[in-house]
Structure 1
Amino acid sequence: MPDLIPLLRRTLGEHIEVRYVETAGLWPAMADPAQLESAVLNLALNARDAMPGGGRLTIELGNKVLDHEYARHYAQVVPVDYAMVAVSDTGHGMTPEVIKRVFEPFFTTKPDGKGTGLGLAMVFGFVKQSGGHVKIYSEPGEGTTVKIYLPRAAGAATVAQRTSAPVELPRGSATVLVVEDEAAVREIACAILADLGYQVLEAPDGEEALRVFGANAATVDLLLTDVVLPGKVRGRELAERVQALRPEVRVVFMSGYTENSIVHHGRSDDGVHLVGKPFKREQLARKVAEVLGTAASTIPEASNVVALRPARDAAP
């Protein structure tokens, strides 16, 4: 994959900045290397077309685990180890209606003669043929991240083997306001936090979150909000308005975009508290406890591979 970066820089042009992020100790994937490069190139070309005035393309490789909680929502997903390739751009983004159709053969939003509509369909076919999973996160005006999950090659440990010894998680009694427009994500996040002892309030968007906060301002200890929310009040503005009223309220952002792409694309400042979607129970529990200052040093760390959970749209 690193060998592809110089080609991308030449192909995309000087107006597109290409960033490459690689996790140490990458797992080998069960996929044809040539088809994988073709898929990444297709995604990069789509990203270029979404950034006619220039922008940034971030390619990130990492080791991920799609756990049983995530697989429960996607029948085609097997809860095992995966090698992930994420391609993120700062382009114009897509509406939920477009996202639902992007993998359909011959579907394209480009003008006549500018695209066949087969690029993303080929990516989808390659990933499915490889036994993998693909997920798109996008918002109009906020760019797009496409995550490709490819099964780890021979020698991968099973989820059951890795989690045979239960991991003790930090618990709490603080009140958390969860703000997320995707009902499935909001439901699971609230369930995880409630199971860990937290008092949970919820809202589907920024405006409703402000109303809920206004009615419970004295009790809310932490705001857990999506970075990009529908409506006039986005995640960052929501956090600023909440902390203007009560500066002691802690904030954790959620996002389906990778952390590297968020920081590199200017959606967030360095040092903010972020949990990536999809996320597993351990990841959310530790992040909330860390930000609230309640994480116990005696609690063993979870595996250095990150298990994922569903995000914005219902289809992968």
Structure 2
Amino acid sequence: MNPEALLEVDDLRVRYPVYEGPFGKRTGYVNAVDGVSFALNRGETLGLVGESGCGKSTLGRTLLALQEANGGRVLFQGQDLFSLSRPDLKRVRRSAQFVFQNPRTCFDPRRTVGSSVRMALDIQNYLDPRMRDEAVANIFLKVGLRPEHRSRYPHELSGGQLQRIAIARALILRPSLLVCDEPVSALDVSVQAQILNLLKDLRDEFELAMIFVSHNLAVVEYIADRVAVMYYGRVVEAGPTRVIFENPQHPYTKALLAAVPSIDLAQRDDPLPKLGDPPDPTRLPSGCRFRTRCPIATARCAEEEPADVRFPHGHTVACFAASA
């Protein structure tokens, strides 16, 4: 166990059964998270990137025990989350909050948004009851909303406003860990910048650690200290943000970065890599699961699953073509 780490993940595994036919016979499994390990320090932000279906959102939910794991463990502040009782897990979650991607599904339509945010304080018995309304008003201001928005219902607000309120609800408990699942995808560019700057300011002020799930590589590059690239449940490349963006080693990472839109006309002349269709997640290729789309795959890739190659500065790459 790393005494300096706020969060430690060891060989985490999550799989979903697949049922087919008129009688719902189980025919296999999808390994949404397949042997993921990493550590996160206080005040550090880890960006999780990858295509849709790569397992990054499932990983984020499992880190807070919102999703049951099939193997491995998650240590938060030295405690194994999967072994805690429900009262102990409730206590721990005051320090570890989640921001969901779709805010319209995480608010009670019968409650005002102000009462929904205050409910987090009430459930956790945080702050004096007489101070809670003032705390809600203050957090609304911090995310760019007026205190009078507290009296509105979810259907009266835009998706962007609701996402800011979802962030406010997570931040009002002053957690030490925030897991964000596409938290700015519903916002326009100007509001995205405001929220990202707010999260960075809060991270510096409260030593807030973050797991930041996003398909937007530009956002990840701006906010993350480290990046983990996921492909069908596995982390295929991880390291400091600058290293990943300036010197990617895995063919999948290179393809993701090459697909980022650019206004540089010279870059537009370079053809995008043709990776082909993704495989069936219930029948992944043998050996390296990326080999059927990889432009440099060899016969060895079909026979063995590559282990991590370690570069300086904590940079790891799961590819036979990488050499330290």
Shorter-chain TM-score: which interval? under 0.3
For the pair shown, which has the larger CA radius of gyration, 1 or 2? Answer: 2
Greater share of residues in helix: 2
TM-score by length of 1: 0.27
Q: Tell which has more relative contact order, 1 or 2 (C-alpha 8 A, sep 6+).
A: 2
TM-score by length of 2: 0.27
